[in-house]
Amino acid sequence: MEIEFKYQATVDQGSELISDLSKKYGSEVRILPMDAVYYDTEDRALRDIHVVYRIRTEGDQTVLTVKYGKGSDKATKGLYRRQEENIPVPADFKDKPGIDVLEDIPVYKEMDKAVGGQYSDLMGVMLPLKKLVPVMDMKFTRRELDVPVGNNGGSATVSYDNGFISAGGKQEPISEVEIELKEGSEAELTEFSEEIALKYSLSPGLKSKYARGIKLLNE
């Protein structure tokens, strides 16, 4: 389960926040170039079953992420609760995206049905009968660090993302803060996040990056 708060922020707000937290907690700031591509079938079969399929290059790593569950791309006061699976994959996985590496996750059978089953190509790679194609991409720079939350050993990763969403031949800027729970309780994360939002005048992010991309596709 992914639990995080998301806030819209200006470049100045995001930069000041990361700098202040680094100084306060002595935490190292990690700078990661992110290149994310979201895939679906031509008839949007994964979207119909409330599955988000993303392949993202994070620095020198490539990660396949699947988020699932109805309403997983919507938030209440900036708070997101989402079922999420992350699997490291080879860099060339994006050339032939598939679902066979996801056979251990709860929605695998539903995904297999949605893509019409799978077949083995001449190289022995299992591929969906309904080909997965790029529907949107996002390029941004993430500046992140780990901080303590609460008084019981809890922790969170605070990040500031700056870049662009591209979908349907259109673009929209990304400038947002995310505060994701790593250890501890949701109540501790909520208290910490609300204090941050108040101090830096941050507005709740009520739509995920994916939902914003879908809006661009539908405009």
Quick one: tokens of 170? Answer: 């259109």
pTM value is 0.94
Sign of torsion over alpha carbons 101, 103, 106, 109: positive
Domain boundaries, the chain: 2-218
Kindly report the CA angle at 187 between 65 and 189, in degrees rounded to 5?
50
Domain 2-218 belongs to what architecture? Beta Barrel (2.40)
- Position of tokens 């409330």? 50
Helices (H), the chain: 11-25, 45-48, 108-114, 186-200, 209-218
Give pLDDT tens digits along the chain (219 positions): 899 999 999 999 999 999 999 999 999 999 999 999 999 999 999 999 999 999 999 989 999 999 998 766 666 788 998 899 999 999 999 999 999 999 999 999 999 999 999 999 999 999 999 999 999 999 999 999 999 999 999 999 999 999 999 999 999 999 999 999 999 999 999 999 999 999 999 999 999 999 999 999 998
